[in-house]
Chains A and B, each alone.
Chain A
Amino acid sequence: MTDIHLPTTSIRITDEAAAAKRARMDLISSVVRYALLFGVGFLMLYPLIWLVGASFKTNSEIFSGAGFLPQSPTVEGYVQGWQTSTPYTFGRFFWNSFLIILPKVIGTAISCTMVAYAFARFDFPFKKILFGSVIAVLLLPNVVTRIPQYILFRDLGWLDSFLPLWVPSALAGDAFFVFMLVQFLRSLPTDMEEAARVDGANSLQTLVFIVVPMLGPALVSVCLFQFMWTMNDFLGPLIYISSVDKYPVSLALKLSIDTTEAFEWNRILAMSVLTITPALVVFFAAQRYFIEGISAGGRKG
């Protein structure tokens, strides 16, 4: 607020000594601010830096000092961790994660776009109630529907397959994304769409050729968030996937903790680093979309 203060206060305060005092106070407070931000930033990032460093340490060195630089760097953790104690390597588990993520992200993008289009551009009976149900689903704790969903998937014979992880998302089950896209679409002007309609385009053509291109950045956010959440998802696979050959990386990491942790620390840390790498790479490559997406979610509709 200081920066906003200054122009008006300089009118009020004519006394030079007071102005000097104010400048000194501003300097002190900005030093305090930077110190605080760097301190917090350090606390935020050091654990991650340590994780990366420790993954190159020998097992005996991991608990011997707080520094992150390994004294005798080794890739032993990566080599042995990658092999795992199962017949499969971590490559298999990354492939499984990919097989879960790709259809899920595509299904989410298509279904949520359709549904958002319906809410933002059409009038139909019970629209208000149905949009209310999107908010209700958004706030509904998954814990209350999980057990019957499990029973349903068991009856369908879908257990130990990726279908329970794909299908609900492909039916616009992630209300957060529907909500986000509706908000975004409502803020876009409709004249392009009207022009297209006048030119004889039907609603589907308008959606595909006019609306989807305009939705671009919001759709990218949706895909990125879904990618990230699915990559991190643990409880879903834990409940539905039982064969090791279908494990995604989150389950595989838990498995390697259970089987090797007592002594082989660097393997666990090395595989932890690998499992967060895709998410970090995607985040740094497309940061803007994350920040915009999450900020848009907080805005009142």
Chain B
Amino acid sequence: MRSQRFLGYAYLAPYLIGLVIFTAIPFLSSLYLSFTSYDLMSSPRWTGLSNYQKLFTRDRTFEKSLSVTLIYVFSTVPLKLAFALFIAAILNYKLKFINFFRTAFYVPSILGGSIAIAVLWRYLFSTEGLVNMAIATLGFGPVDWFGDPTNALFTITLLRCWQFGSAMVIFLAALQSIDKSLYEAASIDGAGKVTTFFFVTLPLLTPVIFFNLVMQMVQAFQEFNGPYIITQGGPLKSTYLLPLYIYEEAFKKFNMGYASAIAWVLFAIIMVLTLVAFWSSKKWVYYAGDKRS
């Protein structure tokens, strides 16, 4: 067994090399770069806190981009998860065609971030597009989806909510693994359907709710394809999410130092929220012993 102690490292080698070269070193060097001015031509020049100072005091674009990003994440993630859970709860009844529905609901997630779907979205929500035609049959006038700042961000939120399928599949798997005897017990105790859902089902689902919440949040903060293709960040920067801003600063203007500073602010926000989620999970996530694995 002695030789085995280090044999593990042989199999771990690819991961260790990748971890150091592509994650650890870049992670630290982006922190370093965020304190510099670097245009890729000359070597990085240390500028102390000035990038961060500029971000938080003089950069109106950053201010706008940050608030748009927060609005986007805090509207998209809860909407998407609530919808996913709602549909999963309905599918959990013994219904016919359950596999058909599960597949139908999952297909949009498969095509997910593809450019083709973002392109489709531009057509659907254009002034003469399908969505406005549908609205017209209900008697409403055409909506200017991409010209109006509030509407434009909403189209991207809708695109991501349309892809609720992967979160739903996870919820459904968790719902199906709930021990049926718990429902019988609740029913004998006289609990109605709604009470049972909130006091039996929901607590048992908290581990997957937590998992979905963290994953979807990290993902939403990094949304790029949707706004880049559908709205190009406009109108009036109303869909100019932080990843778009970072992309343009870094790879269009080659302000690597400044872009790194924005990336670190974004990272700090994601990290703080993730830590809050983990920390608070002790209070609301319920793990039912060791039965589940």
Contacts and interface: CB of A to CB of B under 8 A. Distances in A.
Interface of A: 1-5, 7-9, 30, 33-34, 36-37, 40-41, 43-45, 47-48, 50-51, 54, 62-63, 65-66, 111, 114-115, 117-119, 122-125, 127, 130, 133-134, 137, 139-152, 154, 167-168, 170-173, 178, 187, 203, 207, 228, 231-235, 239, 250, 253-254, 257, 265, 268-269, 271-273, 275-276, 279-280, 283, 287, 290-291, 294-295, 297-300
A119 B9 CA distance: 9
Contacts of A124: 5-9, 12
B274 A139 contact: yes
B123 interface: yes
B145 to A, nearest CB: 14
Given A168-B18, A272-B119, A250 B114 contact: yes
Nearest to B121: A47
Interface of B: 4-19, 21-23, 25-27, 29-30, 33, 40, 87, 90-91, 93-95, 101-108, 110-117, 119-120, 123-124, 126, 128-130, 133-134, 162, 165-166, 169-170, 172-174, 180, 183-184, 187-188, 193, 196-197, 207-208, 211-212, 214, 218, 221-222, 224-225, 228-229, 242-243, 246-247, 250-251, 256, 259-260, 263-264, 266-267, 270, 274, 287, 292-293
Contacts of B21: 152, 171
Contact of A63 (B14, B128, B173): B128
Contact of B107 (A123, A134, A141, A280): A280
A41 B105 contact: yes
Q: Which of B15, B107, B134, B225 has the most CB of A within 10 A?
A: B15
Given A41-B101, A44-B105, A290-B110, A147 B256 contact: yes
A223 to B, nearest CB: 15
A115 B11 contact: yes
Contact of A147 (B12, B33, B120): B33
Given A51-B116, A146-B263, A150-B250, 20 more contacts: A8-B188, A37-B95, A44-B107, A118-B15, A141-B222, A145-B26, A147-B30, A148-B27, A148-B29, A149-B22, A152-B21, A172-B15, A173-B18, A203-B7, A228-B112, A232-B111, A268-B119, A272-B119, A298-B174, A299-B292
A218 B76 CA distance: 30
B293 to A, nearest CB: 7
A33 B107 contact: no
Contacts of A257: 119, 229
Given A41-B101, A140-B23, A235-B225, A265 B123 contact: yes
A276 B130 contact: no
A129 to B, nearest CB: 11
The 4 closest A-B pairs by CB, nearest first: A171-B18, A122-B8, A298-B170, A148-B26
Nearest to A45: B104
Given A145-B27, A149-B22, A168-B18, A44 B166 contact: no
A272 B116 contact: yes
Contacts of B22: 145, 149, 152, 167-168, 171, 173
A214 B229 CA distance: 42
Nearest to A231: B114
27 contacts: A5-B183, A37-B101, A45-B104, A63-B126, A66-B133, A118-B9, A122-B11, A139-B214, A145-B26, A148-B260, A149-B26, A151-B29, A152-B21, A171-B21, A254-B115, A268-B119, A269-B120, A273-B116, A275-B115, A276-B111, A280-B107, A280-B110, A290-B106, A295-B172, A295-B173, A298-B173, A298-B212
Given A8-B188, A173-B18, A279-B110, A253 B115 contact: yes
A45 B120 CA distance: 13
Contacts of B9: 118, 124
A47 B120 contact: yes
Contacts of A48: 107-108, 111, 120
Contacts of A272: 115-117, 119-120
| Residue from B90, B112, B123, B207 whose CB has the most chain A CB atoms within 10 Å | B123
A114 to B, nearest CB: 5
Given A47-B130, A171-B21, A273-B116, A234 B124 contact: no
B66 to A, nearest CB: 14
Given A141-B221, A280-B110, A8 B184 contact: yes
A250 B113 CA distance: 10
Contacts of A34: 95
B14 to A, nearest CB: 4
A65 B242 CA distance: 37
A141 B266 contact: yes
Contacts of A9: 187
A97 B212 CA distance: 30
Contacts of B26: 145-149, 152
Nearest to B126: A63
